[in-house]
Amino acid sequence: MYTIVTDNTALTEQATSQTRQIVYRTKGKRQEWFTRLASPSGIGEKIKPFVFLDDFDIRPTGKPLAGMHPHSGIATVTVVISGNMDYQDTTGKSGTLSPGSVEWMNAGGGVWHAGGAAEGERVRGFQLWIALPPEDENGVAHSQYLAPEQVQTHGPARVILGRYGKATSAIATRASINYLHVVLKNGQRWRYQPPTGHTVGWVAPYAGKLHAAGMELQNELAVFEESTAALDFFAEGDTEFVLGSAVKHPHDLVLGYYSVHTDGYALERGETEIERIREQLEANRSL
């Protein structure tokens, strides 16, 4: 699946042999505790079902990061790179995610959740939003939390969603989506062949320098042209990144403040359920 190369000639050959081009790059917009690399109103429209991506760096505050907040019509996927992160949601689950853990929150027709650094911890990771198909966008909310040992690997890739090689994610999705966390050593070369129909492809390196399509990528999001051709990567220094590929989401993105749906009726249903849960939370707090 991958080979080791250690000289500059190999690096040059790797770059010039690449045929699938990068069509968009961004360092994102830095905010208080995260860098927003993609949003539904921007590049998320081009790479749907991937509609939102944050590279976060949370310092301990002693309380939930932003308190309870709602979603509908999407699933959020949180990958913890380092540190411990507390979570809670209105499906009744709460706990702590350790380094290497994964949170899958299928908001469906409406859910509220919160998360933040555990006491005394600094947490690094990524949060991704995935647009749900019509069959699921107003369904019952459910969540799934994977410990590091529950995330299968093949070669240098941890399979967060989907299937790669002999590894399969414990999280089931109706849409055909791969989301990988990849670790390459200095001088390591890796080729990723997307599954059939996966024309959407992007990569977000956060450690080291990643070479792809003749470009050097570092702490950014790079989007590849739509194609099912393989993607070739070369690591300069020990390098880590997340990568997504998928069959393109064929529906419109109809946006609420925390929601993404396929049409206005589905959005209205989601926002109505969000408001119902909010009222229930407030009633519980008053008891």
DSSP class per residue in 91-131: TS-EEEEPTT-EEEEE-TT-EEEEEEEPTT--EEEEEEEEE
At residue 257, the 3 state secondary structure works out as: coil
What phi, psi does 9 have (nearest 5°)?
A: -60, -45
pLDDT at 103: 96
**Structural domains of the chain ordered from first start:** 2-286 (2.60.120.10)
Q: State the pairing for strand pair 157-161/153-154.
A: antiparallel
Dump pLDDT digits (tens) for 118-155: 888 899 999 999 999 999 999 999 999 999 999 999 99
Three-state DSSP state, 253 = coil
**Residue 13 buriedness (CB in 10 A; 0-12 / 13-18 / 19+):** middle
Structural contact between residues 24 and 43, judged by C-beta atoms closer than 8 angstroms:
yes
> Identity (one letter) of the amino acid at 90?
T
Compute the residue count for the chain: 287
pLDDT tens digits, 154-198: 999 999 999 999 999 999 999 999 999 999 999 999 999 999 999
Instruction: Give every residue of the chain whose pLDDT is below 50, as ranges.
Output: 1-18
Within 8 A by CB and 6+ apart from 32, the residues are: none
- Report pTM: 0.91
What pLDDT does residue 8 have? 37
pLDDT at 59: 79
Percent of the chain that is helix, strand, coil (3-state, to 5): 15, 50, 40
